[in-house]
Chain A
Amino acid sequence: GESVGLHLPTLSVQEGDNSIINCAYSNSASDYFIWYKQESGKGPQFIIDIRSNMDKRQGQRVTVLLNKTVKHLSLQIAATQPGDSAVYFCAEKAGGYNKLIFGAGTRLAVHP
């Protein structure tokens, strides 16, 4: 497989704070990126996506930033809530290929 099998880093935040989760992607040809949330024992849940012709996209409480120059993607969660506690993965897709490759993931722990 192409995804990286590393143990997950953890980001701990206080409830109400903003969270920023980072992801470095590998393929400069990737043109579509998605952030997923995965709760324990469940499949990934779509959060937000962005195409390579954009630098920023906002959703409800979430913002994705894309820096193609350094191949970096970030997910910002505003006013983080306990229900946001989960593992977050970025995923990339290269044009012409429809397979999605996942990054290493970050565990978000929200403390009251």
Chain B
Amino acid sequence: GAVVSQHPSWVICKSGTSVKIECRSLDFQATTMFWYRQFPKQSLMLMATSNEGSKATYEQGVEKDKFLINHASLTLSTLTVTSAHPEDSSFYICSASRLEDNTGELFFGEGSRLTVL
């Protein structure tokens, strides 16, 4: 149990276009989902915290108008990279905490690799 799925797993787009990445909890309800970005040979950097039915909380330095997050249901959060540019090319990873858990454990998706040409 506790599977988190991301789609697409990889995407290539032209500069200036917008790209949407989905994060789904397949067999549990997620109160909170987190979006991370990871550049090559670096650590995961938390971008934002997404709570179902409310606005996302963004980390310092992350542009909320650039990275739109929607958490419309307890099983789905989406990240839209608007007007993507080559510097947005990265590995985007989501994670989710289970509604019934108070352990703090997070379950991670397999990541989505974005390449902006």
Contact = CB atoms under 8 A, between A and B. Distances in A.
Interface of A: 1-8, 32, 34, 36, 41-46, 49, 89, 93, 98-105
Interface residues of B, number: 32
Main secondary structure of the interface of A (DSSP, over half): loop
Given A1-B59, A5-B39, A99 B104 contact: no
Contacts of A41: 91, 111, 113
Interface stretch (B14-22, B44-52, B69-77, B81-89): B44-52
Contacts of A101: 46
B115 to A, nearest CB: 13
Interface of B: 4, 6, 32, 34, 36-37, 39, 41-47, 49, 59-62, 91, 93, 95, 97, 104-111, 113
Given A3-B44, A34-B106, A36-B108, 20 more contacts: A1-B37, A2-B45, A2-B59, A3-B46, A5-B42, A5-B43, A42-B110, A43-B4, A43-B93, A43-B110, A43-B111, A44-B108, A49-B105, A98-B104, A99-B34, A99-B49, A100-B104, A100-B106, A101-B46, A104-B43
Contacts of A6: 42-43
A3 to B, nearest CB: 5
Contacts of A105: 42-43
Contact of A3 (B4, B34, B43): B43
A64 B39 CA distance: 27
Contacts of B105: 34, 46, 49
